[in-house]
Structure formats: C-alpha cells, structure tokens
Amino acid sequence: MAGFVNNLLILLLLFQNICLGFRSPLSVFKRYKDITTSLSSECLGSDQPVISFGLSDFALDIRMPGVTPKQSDTYLCMSIPLPVDDEAYVVDFKPHASMDTVHHMLLFGCNEPSSAENYWDCDEGTCKDKSNILYAWARNAPPTRLPKGVGFRVGGETGSRYFVLQVHYGDVSAFRDKHKDCSGVTLHLTHQKQPLIAGMYLMMSVNTVIPPGEKVVDADIACHYKRSPMHLFAYRVHTHRLGKVVSGYRVRNGQWTLIGRQSPQLPQAFYPVEYPVDVSYNDILAARCVFTGEGRTTETHIGGTANDEMCNFYIMYYMEAKHAVSYMTCTQNANPEMFRNIPNEANIPIPVKSDVLKTMHGHHEETKDSDTSYLLQQAKKEEAEILDQDFHIEEAVEWPGLDLKLGQVSGLALDPENNLVVFHRGDHLWDENSFDSKFVYQQRGLGPIEQNTILVLNPSNAKLLHSTGKSLFYLPHGLSVDKNGNYWVTDVALHQVFKLGASDKEPLLILGVALQPGSDKNHFCQPTDVAVDPITGSIYVSDGYCNSRIIQFSPNGLYVMQWGEETSLGRARPGQFHIPHSLALISDLSQLCVADRENGRIQCFRLETGEFTKEIKHKAFGRELFAVSYVPGGLLFAVNGMPYPGEAESVQGFVMNFSTGEIIDTFIPLRKSFEMPHDIVASEDRTVFVGDVHAKAVWKFASAEKMEHRSVKKAGIEVQETKESETIVEARLKNKPESTDPLKNTDKHLVQEASSTGVSFVLITTLLIIPVVVLLAILVFIRWRKTTVYGGKGSGGINLGNFFASHKGYSRKGFDRLSTEGSDQEKDEDDGTDSEEECSASPLPPAPSSS
C-alpha cells in the first residue's frame, strides 16, 4: 500500500508540471522579467511583444524598434495597441533602459496616437486625444511601483486602447558605433478585476508670469477636492530651467500635510510619497513652484519651448474601483489667501550638485519640450473639456426606465452613489385649474400626493432601490441631492423648499410658508429649483414662476442675499430673469448657472457675490431653455422647450463646452419623442438622463464613444452592446462603412495569442485530466499484471521513474527530486514590496407653458 501512495504522489507531481499555466502569475512574470533583462539589447520585445501566462495574465513588451538617434536631446515615440478588447489592468512595470543612453522614458495611455508610423519624432506629439501618464523612468531615479491590489485600468469601455512610449535620448555619444536601441518597458497586465484603481492628478499653473531679474517668483495652484477618497502613493515635479523647488500638500482644516517636495532639476521621475496621505471630500490640494527670473531679460511665460516655463505637480493615487476616476486636473488657485500659511519648506530651494545640473541641462535646452507641449494641450482640453468631433450622445434604447409608470416627471438628480433619483407628481397634475391669478393653489381639497414621489433607481437597469415622499407634496418641481445624500426639493403649490433625509419621513428643514406665495425673505412664489454648495453648504433657490430672483441661504436656512429682477421690455439684460427654472452649481469654479427659461438662455453668476459672469445663448435653443446640468471638467448639458408655431427650432438636448459656450453635440430620443423635457442630469462618464413632464417618462442617453467597439449590423442600423447589456442604436440615413479602428485590424495574431482567457475552461480541464486518467489506467494494469505474475505478492509498489527508464532513450532526470519551482511556496521578496401642463408661468405675453 505504501508503494501505491508513493506512486500517487508522483502522479500529483506530474499533474503539477502539466498545470504549469495555472501557477502564480506573479512568479511567472518575475522569471519572465529576469529573462528579458538579460536579452534587452537583442530587441526581444520586437519579435514577441505579448506573452500569455495563466488564464488571466499576460505581459506586453513595449520597445523602441531598433532606433539610432543622431543628435542629443532627441525625443522618439512609438505606439502599440492593447492586444485585447476587454478591460484589463496594468499591475506592474519592468523598465529596460541604460542610463548611458536614455535620459528618461514616459509611458502614456490614450486612444489615438499622434502617428501610425513605426516610430516618430515626439515633436509631432504623443497622442491626438486626451492621454495620461502611466509610468515614468529617469536615470538615477527609482522606478515607479504600484502597491499590491492596485492597477491602471485599460481597454474596455473607458480605458486606453493604445500605449505610447516616449524616450528621451540625452547624450548620444554612446551611439557612435551605430548600434540600435530597443529601450522600453514590459507591462504585467491581468484581466482579474483589481479592488483599487490607479489614476493621475495633475496640478498645473497656466498663467504664471516670471518678470526678468526677479529673484523669487511663486506659482500657486489650489483646488477643492470633491470626489470619493483617494490614497496618494507617488508624485512627480516638472518645470524648466528656472524652477528651484516644487512642493505639493493636502490641506485639511487648515493643516498642511506634505505630499512631496523635490527639485525639478533632479531626475523627473515619480518618487514615492514618504508617508501615506489620503485625500477626502472638501480637502484642498495645493502646490507651489518657486522660480527665479535672474538671468532673463524678458518676461517668461508658461509654454512649451526652452524659453518658456512650466509648473506641474503630478500625483499618482488609487481609489476604490467603484468610485475610480482615472485622470483629474487642477489649473486654478481657488484660495490665494491660504498660501500665507504654506510651510516655509516650500520656499527653500533644494541644492543640486553641479554634475547633476550638467546632466539635466540637456533636458532643458531642447527647442521644444514634448512633455510640456502635450501637457499644455491637455490642460487646455481638460480645463474646458473640449471634446473631439466624434463625441456623440445616443439613447440607450434597451434601458427599461422609459416604461416605468410615473406621474409628471419634474425633477432628476444623481445621489452620491450615482443612482438616479426621480421626483414626480403621482396622480396630481398641474393644469389651468391649479392656481388663481394670485398664484394661490386651488386644489388643496385633493390632499397631498398619496404615492411616493421620490424614487431611487439603479441607473443600469431602472430597478427601484428606494422610495419616499408619500403624503408630503402637492405639485413637486425641482430636485437636487447634496453630498450627504439628502434630498432637496421644491413644491410650487406649497411655495416651499424642503430638505429630506434618505430614510426620514419628516423634513429636516423647510423654507417658505405653506400655501402662501410672496416675495420677501420668508416667502417664495412657485420656487423652481434648489442647489447646495458641497463646499460651504450654502443653499441657492431659484424663485420662480412669479418671482425673478435667486436667493442664497446659510446651511441652516438663514437668509443671506438675493439677486435678479424681472425682464424689461426689449432684450433681456444680464441678471434679469423670465422664469429662472433650473440651477447648475459649479463648485470647482465657484459659479451658479441658471436656465433662464422664457429668455431661452443660460446665465452664470459668482456664488459669493451673485455677480454676472457669462451668458450662453444659441438660436438652436429657441425661445425656451428648461434645464441645465454641469459635469466637472467643463461640460454643460441642457434641454429646450417645444418651438412656438411657425418656428423651426426642434426640442432636443444639448452638450456644450462651458468655457466657450460652444455646442458640441445635440441629441434626441429614438423611442417616443420629447414633449416637454423638464429636467436633465448628467454624470461624469457622460451618461445623461432626461425627464419629461408631459410624456411622464425618463430617457437615458450615453456617449457613443464610451461603448464597446464590437458592432452588429442589422438593416442598416449599427447596434453596439454596452457592459450593462444595453443597446445603443445609431440612427443613420446612410450605411456606415466598415470600422477603420486600427485596434481592430492590427496584430490579430497577438489578440489570439494573448486571449487565452477566452478559451473554454472546460476544454482546458479536460485536456489536463486525460493524461492523468491514462496514467491511472497504466497503474492499475501494471498492478494487476504484477499480482498475476507474483501470485498476489507486491514488489514494493511501482517506481514510475524505473518504469519509464526501462524504455530506451529515456532519462531519469526530473524524477530524482521534487521541484518546487513555480509552486505556492516560492516567495519573491521583490513582489512583496512596492510591486411639466403647467400654465401659471407669468402674465407676460405670449403666455409660456408652465412646468
């Protein structure tokens, strides 16, 4: 029996060797890294860029294709597509570069490289679209390492589909022998979802001016953070030659916590954050660059040439996957006064040895800093969110929310979990009998609405998650949700504003006097909307159908100030309203935008003073603009009203660039039609919801560019499936040509090679079990034979090593000792470290429809 057990142990060993593909991916990658390190000079990656190991992991080798730079300070770029369509995560980096030839390397993620050539001069740019840095390596600087469980999300709906490698060759004297360089980086990617997603936060000054001869010039950047918590683990600084020191801080309750501080004249790689720093909602991120204008005879501005300057502070962070944002920017100074309290260390230059300066100066003498050029272009895009011409909003036609049985839908919002919140009127209607000529509600006898008027829906499948608001309201109108998940609503019949907790049956705060219209500090007249500043807690109310003002209240409901007046005859002037109908609070710019409905425009004002800042008005709006919504980064979404008889402007949705006011896109539904779209809300991933008070419906729209690129042609309509199994139907009068997406048409063999994850698990398991079954059969047969030959007496069991060795030409090697290579016991120390029929609007002719 002992022999039988020994034989089973040997079989298990064989099974382990057969199942080599299922061992720890990190250990496999570790050995692969060792191999590629020794063969880096042979351009290994050029011949085999993808190596698959295990069911979910693969390595992607990104190398310069054998280049020979001809002059110093040459920047060369090359790109490689992500070899899979579905979502993946970069979890580790392995650089391949010599300090003798490479000054620094940057790896970008984007969807459209600047060139389709094998490689190109980076003066042409790195990417045509928005890009973000994933990795940086510089001579004499530590490599970027990701903490365990953290990954950069790539591919899928939202991730980058191309990697662009930029290599800066400083001193090219090492290329006198005309050898070819294959520097680059190997990425370890996995399809396993990572619990924590890495991202990049860029702080960048865009308006600094350095006077000539000025000894010390400070460039300060500060932004209020208003997202889910993030954890900072690395930072990078960047200036040109005049920069002395760059420092970054988190400011919480007046306390400054250092993120990182470094001389920009040292290697500009990512450096680890020395002590863990987390950033929460309402914290401030602040950075200072210290420059000198000594030696200059003219002013120095921010720009992309050697004679310009830059002030950049990058932060590498990670967030929980469900809240993850891959890229954020800050290009303003939201609170200049706070820098009076910046720690003194931020003003002290860091000494740099002359030999290091000599090495670094090559980096600053180039005619154009490609890193800077890309950043300037990107900062401009990020600040105004200028989207490319292909950006388009389409209806998500399989979203079932359109079929919900709702009353008149008056308000929409998103809660902190991005769930959709709907405010509707149940069985109540706003019609010509609702109010008298003095705006007093005439249908009190109906009592309050007996249905739950506030519904919380899953934004993906419209499943009801929560409901409240029963027996509280008569004619619901505006809705918003604050950062704590409280519901803020207005009721035009009650002439009141309410604050409701998500689980509270009674209001937490009530503004206005029930059923009493008025125009003083304590009364409203049909208030339309409410917004709450997430930073200060200040409350802003648009009032309303029979008043023309915006009122500010303190967080506990005390009157602070108001602004606005009725529209005079002729052209409406700034600050005049004809039904301020909807509010969009832009906290990062400290502005409040108002949909001035009957004037068909958007007006924006400063939160602190009510000072008018801008107007956005387009002929396409027609006479009415009902609602507006803002997305951080610079996007405005809006819906207009039905055209007056004889007018051509159609009722539709708009996407606008907030900075310029330019219309980027328009959209309409494919199922049903807009009748009176009353409110709109958009999320940061450009998912848009529109509620219609007459159609009693809610539509969902999504950015067509965010959908997966796998398309099915049906009767001239392109059907694209999203992750949520929705179908995006692009209505075209013409058949679309075949996709020219280079990712679809290149390196199909790589996709096949790297997509072992797509192979049926059952098939793999079957193929692995077959040899085991065969061996067991042999075992049973031999044991039976031995029992027959020796009369039932065993001979000490079977030695498979001897059995196979009895065959000519077979070696015992591999059976003499059990190998633990690749097993769970193998521990790599390196991997364990950093690796509305509303008719009561206004007596002014022509009488506008109410909502």
Active-site positions? 103-104, 166, 168, 238, 240, 310
Q: Which helix (H) or strand (E) holds 4?
A: helix 2-18
Residue 717 exposed, middle or buried by CB count within 10 Å (0-12, 13-18, 19+): middle
Contact (Cβ atoms closer than 8 angstroms) between residue 144 and residue 121: no
Name the amino acid, one letter, at 125.
G
Name the amino acid, one letter, at 312.
N
Rounded CA-CA distance 405/580 in Å is: 29
Q: How would you list the strands of the sheet with 727-730, edge to edge?
A: 711-714, 717-721, 727-730
Contact (Cβ atoms closer than 8 angstroms) between residue 142 and residue 267: no
Contact (Cβ atoms closer than 8 angstroms) between residue 481 and residue 415: yes
- Contacting residues for 411 by C-beta, under 8 A, at least 6 apart: 422, 423, 476, 477, 478, 479, 480, 489, 529, 678, 679, 691
Tokens of 294: 């000594």
DSSP 365: S
Three-class secondary structure of residue 644 per DSSP: coil
Tokens of 652: 């539709």
Rounded CA-CA distance 10/13 in Å is: 5
Tokens of 54: 């295990």
Name the amino acid, one letter, at 118.
N
Rounded CA-CA distance 320/317 in Å is: 11
- C-alpha 93: how far from its chain's center? 22
Backbone angles phi, psi at 6, to 5 degrees: -60, -40
Residue 820 exposed, middle or buried by CB count within 10 Å (0-12, 13-18, 19+): exposed
Rounded CA-CA distance 717/79 in Å is: 33
* 362: nearest Cα among 181, 102, 133: 102
Backbone angles phi, psi at 384, to 5 degrees: -105, -5
Residue-by-residue DSSP string for 594-631 = EEEGGGTEEEEEETTT--EEEEE--GGGTT-EEEEEEE
- Rg of the Cα atoms in the chain: 32
Q: Looking up tokens 């980058």, which residue turns up? A: 160
CB atoms within 10 A of CB 91: 24
DSSP 567: P
Strand 196-204 and strand 150-154: the pairing is parallel
Three-class secondary structure of residue 113 per DSSP: strand
Task: Give the torsion through C-alpha atoms of 273, 277, 280, 285, to 10 deg.
Answer: -50
Rounded CA-CA distance 421/407 in Å is: 14
Q: Give the helix ranges, DSSP H, for 414-507.
A: none
Contact (Cβ atoms closer than 8 angstroms) between residue 162 and residue 201: no
- C-alpha 673: how far from its chain's center? 31
Strand 209-210 and strand 162-169: the pairing is unpaired
Q: How would you list the strands of the sheet with 612-616, edge to edge?
A: 580-586, 591-596, 601-606, 612-616
Q: How would you list the strands of the sheet with 688-692, edge to edge?
A: 393-395, 697-703, 688-692, 677-682
- Inter-axis angle of helices 761-789 and 2-18, nearest 10: 150
Tokens of 273: 């954050």
